[in-house]
A and B are shown apart, each in its own frame.
Chain A
Amino acid sequence: MISFQAILDGLMTVLNPGCLLWLILGVLVGIIFGAIPGLTAATGIAVFTPVTFGMEFSSAFGFLLGLYCGGYYGGSIPAILIHTPGAPGNVATTVDGYPMAQRGEAGHALSLSVTASWLGGTFSAFCLLIFASLIARFALEFGPQEYFSVALIGLSCIIGVSEGSMLFGILAGVMGMLLACIGVDPMDGVLRYTFGSMSVMKGISTVPALVGLFALSEMFLKAEEDHTVAKGVAKKITGVMPKFREYWHNKWLLFKSMFIGMVIGAIPGTGPTIAAWLSYSEAKRCSKHPEEFGKGAVEGILACESSNNAVTGGAIIPMVTLGIPGDPCTAILLSALMIQGLTPGPTLMTKNPELVTTILWILLIANLAMLAFGLGGAKLFPKLLSVPPKILFPVVIVMCVVGSYAVNNSPFDMWVAYGLGVFGYVMIKCGMPVAPMVLGIILGPIMEPNFRRALIASKMNYLSFFTRPLSCVFIVLAITLSIVMYRRTHGSKKAKNK
């Protein structure tokens, strides 16, 4: 257990002007990186980690962790305003955030998103302090079977987001998973569907796919509309100041979402995307009015954003307790730790107790800074929508394409974005939801290798998915969730048809 003295020492380390300045700068840079489609928190941390070579620990980590927190929130801004998730973790936020902005409540939606992010980030920071070793041990319980089963729960969200035709939703999900197969086979190293092209070898990356399916397709769709009038612009931006009652009313939803986010964050190899989707479907499952989800439900935004920011504290848990990254960002933060001369590993925490408390304070202050920027911006950002579409759209498209290129510095990724943009447009025109396809692209690369890994390691024992208790629980959950979601989304319609 960490002593009170260590907590005070941590605060003293953080409370110096240099560290605070770097921290606030980090949050700002993070929000910008998060908000630009294609540039994610991970990109930002990777780019700026070498800069911290000559900095002292508190400044370096103040900057990087600020970037981390800001980045996970920033993606929700374009998700809400222009239906373009800035990062994969914010895809689920578009589902309810965008309709809300279209209703003219962009200010309210942005305020919800930043407040929920703040709550999630702060909650997980405290979990890091109190339950770190407990959660780290739980995370280690995850073998290939468990990874597969947890991804299966994520996949069951397809049913929840497939408004209209369930068949189309499943079809889109399968297409996404097939797209994820392109490139080098993760288990045997065999080339799949590359047609001899070297650039196809690395496969379809998440970010360009996301940019294409969500952002570009939406821009193409918007291009059909009458451009002389800007739509969805609130005359007055209201609802920016968070109301305590709104959050208190949803306290259990928030608590559940934050808990899901924190635990998912602690499990290596997962990340904010899965966390947000799981929380979203859980919120929809126990909502009293599930039909409002997808049409601008407050709960939808609260669930996703509190959950994806709770990943931050969660992902740091295995990093400081075991030296294993919990998500892509912490993988890079490990390098940053080594630059500081700290060896990540199980004894990192016992050898440097002040490290964890310093990180805790940095996270708390970074989240506060994020809240301040976010609430301030919630009044300002919606004005973006009053930019005439003929100026806004080209700018967004250019940003999207540059972002797609920047992820891997690969021109091929630009074509992926364009191709999937056109494809997404056709899908929407046919009444096919695009979200399941993105779920397939994201979850496919987790499910496939872990499914095969599980079978190889257990000598082709398919029953091992059920005999391992944790995995069995997840599979039962996935099935239950699918049935409940199906009834909730499609059951009422069936009853009417009868």
Chain B
Amino acid sequence: MKKYLALVLALVMVLSLAACGGSGNKENASTATEAPKQDEAEKSDAEEEKPAEEPKVDFPTKAITLISPYTAGGSNDMTSRIIADAMGDILDCTITVLNVPGAGGSVGAVQAAAEKPDGYTLFMSAAGCISVVPYTSTVSYDIDSFDVIGQATDLAFVLVVPNDFPADNIDEFVEYAKENPGLNYGTPGANSSQEIFMHQLEQYADIELTHVPYGGAADVNAAIMGGHLEVGCLLSTDTVANLADGQYKALGVSSAEQDEVVPDVATFVSQGYDITSTCFTTLVAPAGVDPAVLTILRDAYTEAMASDYVNESFEKMGFPNCYMSAEESEAHMREVTESFKNVIAALNS
């Protein structure tokens, strides 16, 4: 009797393994199919509007994998999952999100760039892994390794300081930094796009700051609130709650025009500092995808980004919907990359 029980137990273990085994794959797959169900009502009208298209190729015939180069639960991952759900519904296939984190997003980028360009592998690229890492370390990919599908979000950088910091705008900040050379500033990590933006500011304003890389945006927030850090550079979405609560103050935002996420913060440009920069999150595929397949993907993406589901989910998460067409997105990616490349080149010279 005991032996049977033991066997049953072993079986249960094996089964639970099978259930959770490909956790990355299977579980994610199930979530990608489950979640839309709950929102089916919302999305049904989006489906009705589906234009009658005549694809020359039969795509997709199997599940699509969307690689997110950051950890599950982060903003890149959440963006990926929302878009995977919406696009999966439109394309009538399962889109599985695969988190391949590590090394500032470059591990996922390396893997995505090496995949077959058949349209069945997508990649949620970000400024950090596309526009910074290829120029700071040796990796096997760069911006040309990917075909652009479309931009999802585009976030500006915000310069934040504690409330008692002796400066209220960039002019005063620059003055203070000149009086106190080597002022510490924190970013979410080494070789992050936030760091590159701060170097851009240093080069433009001719000041010298000391970079203190932290382990993520939450760490920088905690360090500023705890009084361990004088200056921080963060993405706009990471500062919204703390700015609203008056935990610290913002001196400037790097967007070209008034920022959608932090509308009360003055831009660098409006304060006489002609530096703009943003951190894009853009859906791409490994370079060399069949143009017909690419068109299907781009159309599905355009439709997904316009859907109520994506807009509502983005609003809940506090992400701005920064949809751009493939051409516009690529132009923007190249522009950001070019500017980062110049900053990095100036650093190394």
Chain A: residues with CB nearer than 8 A to chain B?
32-33, 36, 39, 43, 45-51, 53-55, 139-144, 183-191, 196, 198-199, 201-203, 268-269, 318, 322-325, 331-332, 334-335, 338-341, 343-347, 380-381, 383-384, 386-387, 391-392, 395, 398-399, 402, 405-406, 408-410, 449, 453, 456-457, 459
- Name which residue of chain A comes closest to B32, CB basis: A50
Instruction: Please tell me which one of the listed residues B38, B74, B102 contacts residue A202 in the complex, with CB atoms under 8 A apart.
Output: B102
Cβ of B140 < 8 Å from any Cβ of A? yes
Instruction: Please tell me which one of the listed residues A190, A201, A335 contacts residue B73 in the complex, with CB atoms under 8 A apart.
Output: A335
B191–A198 touching, CB < 8 Å = no
Instruction: Please tell me which one of the listed residues A144, A189, A268, A398 contacts residue B104 in the complex, with CB atoms under 8 A apart.
Output: A189
Which 8 pairs show the lowest CB-CB distances between chains A and B? A202-B102, A345-B241, A54-B38, A46-B72, A332-B73, A140-B226, A189-B190, A143-B228
Kindly state the separation between the CA atoms of A398 and B110 in the bound complex, as whole angstroms: 27
Q: Which of B20, B72, B81, B189 has the most CB of A within 10 A?
A: B20
Majority-rule SS of A interface residues: helix
Kindly state the separation between the CA atoms of A359 and B316 in the bound complex, as whole angstroms: 20
Beyond A184-B137, A189-B190, A409-B100, 11 extra complex contacts between A and B, CB < 8 Å: A39-B20, A39-B23, A47-B23, A50-B31, A140-B227, A186-B190, A201-B107, A322-B222, A343-B318, A395-B10, A406-B21
A383–B2 touching, CB < 8 Å = yes
B218–A325 touching, CB < 8 Å = yes
Kindly state the separation between the CA atoms of A318 and B223 in the bound complex, as whole angstroms: 13
Q: Which of A46, A398, A459 has the most CB of B within 10 A?
A: A46
A335–B222 touching, CB < 8 Å = no
- Name which residue of chain B comes closest to A336, CB basis: B73
Of the candidate stretches B156-164, B207-215, B270-278, B286-294, the one touching chain A is B207-215
Kindly state the separation between the CA atoms of A8 and B323 in the bound complex, as whole angstroms: 45
A453–B214 touching, CB < 8 Å = yes
User: Contacts A33-B20, A406-B22 given: A54-B35 contact, CB under 8 Å?
Assistant: yes
Instruction: Please tell me which one of the listed residues B13, B106, B140 contacts residue A399 in the complex, with CB atoms under 8 A apart.
Output: B13
B229–A189 touching, CB < 8 Å = no
Question: A338 contacts which chain B residues (CB < 8 A)?
Answer: 316-318
Kindly state the separation between the CA atoms of A81 and B214 in the bound complex, as whole angstroms: 39
Question: B345 contacts which chain A residues (CB < 8 A)?
Answer: none
Kindly state the separation between the CA atoms of A141 and B223 in the bound complex, as whole angstroms: 9
B316–A341 touching, CB < 8 Å = yes
Cβ of B56 < 8 Å from any Cβ of A? no
A191–B137 touching, CB < 8 Å = yes
User: Contacts A408-B100, A409-B98 given: A198-B107 contact, CB under 8 Å?
Assistant: yes
A386–B245 touching, CB < 8 Å = no
Cβ of B171 < 8 Å from any Cβ of A? no
- Name which residue of chain B comes closest to A32, CB basis: B16
Majority-rule SS of B interface residues: helix
> Beta-carbon contacts of B183-224 to A below 8 Å, as 1s and 0s?
010000111000000000000000000111111001101110
Cβ of B145 < 8 Å from any Cβ of A? no
Cβ of B244 < 8 Å from any Cβ of A? yes
Question: B184 contacts which chain A residues (CB < 8 A)?
Answer: 456-457
Question: B3 contacts which chain A residues (CB < 8 A)?
Answer: 386
A65 to chain B, nearest CB (A): 15
Question: B9 contacts which chain A residues (CB < 8 A)?
Answer: 380-381, 383-384, 387
Question: A49 contacts which chain B residues (CB < 8 A)?
Answer: 72-73
B78 to chain A, nearest CB (A): 6
A143–B223 touching, CB < 8 Å = yes
Kindly state the separation between the CA atoms of A420 and B257 in the bound complex, as whole angstroms: 53
Question: B110 contacts which chain A residues (CB < 8 A)?
Answer: 198, 201
B39–A188 touching, CB < 8 Å = no
Question: B218 contacts which chain A residues (CB < 8 A)?
Answer: 268, 324-325, 331, 334
Kindly state the separation between the CA atoms of A398 and B53 in the bound complex, as whole angstroms: 46
A183–B98 touching, CB < 8 Å = no
Instruction: Please tell me which one of the listed residues B10, B17, B25, B210 contacts residue A456 in the complex, with CB atoms under 8 A apart.
Output: B210
A409–B24 touching, CB < 8 Å = yes
User: Contacts A187-B190, A456-B210 given: A346-B247 contact, CB under 8 Å?
Assistant: yes
Cβ of B63 < 8 Å from any Cβ of A? no
List B residues 281-319 near A (Cβ within 8 Å): 313, 316-318
A189–B137 touching, CB < 8 Å = yes
A321 to chain B, nearest CB (A): 11
- Name which residue of chain A comes closest to B243, CB basis: A345
B260 to chain A, nearest CB (A): 16
Kindly state the separation between the CA atoms of A340 and B312 in the bound complex, as whole angstroms: 12
B10–A345 touching, CB < 8 Å = no
A384–B6 touching, CB < 8 Å = yes
B16–A324 touching, CB < 8 Å = no
B89 to chain A, nearest CB (A): 13
Question: A188 contacts which chain B residues (CB < 8 A)?
Answer: 190
Question: A144 contacts which chain B residues (CB < 8 A)?
Answer: 228
Q: Which of A45, A50, A186, A449 has the most CB of B within 10 A?
A: A50
A189–B136 touching, CB < 8 Å = yes
Kindly state the separation between the CA atoms of A105 and B218 in the bound complex, as whole angstroms: 44
Question: A39 contacts which chain B residues (CB < 8 A)?
Answer: 20, 23
Q: Which of B23, B98, B211, B240 has the most CB of A within 10 A?
A: B23
List B residues 11-64 near A (Cβ within 8 Å): 13-14, 16-17, 20-25, 27-28, 31-32, 34-35, 38-39
- Name which residue of chain A comes closest to B9, CB basis: A384
B35–A386 touching, CB < 8 Å = no
B211 to chain A, nearest CB (A): 8
- Name which residue of chain A comes closest to B141, CB basis: A198
B23 to chain A, nearest CB (A): 4
A189–B219 touching, CB < 8 Å = no
User: Contacts A189-B136, A346-B245 given: A47-B27 contact, CB under 8 Å?
Assistant: yes
Cβ of B71 < 8 Å from any Cβ of A? yes
Question: A449 contacts which chain B residues (CB < 8 A)?
Answer: 213, 215
Kindly state the separation between the CA atoms of A345 and B85 in the bound complex, as whole angstroms: 28
Kindly state the separation between the CA atoms of A366 and B32 in the bound complex, as whole angstroms: 27
Question: B322 contacts which chain A residues (CB < 8 A)?
Answer: none
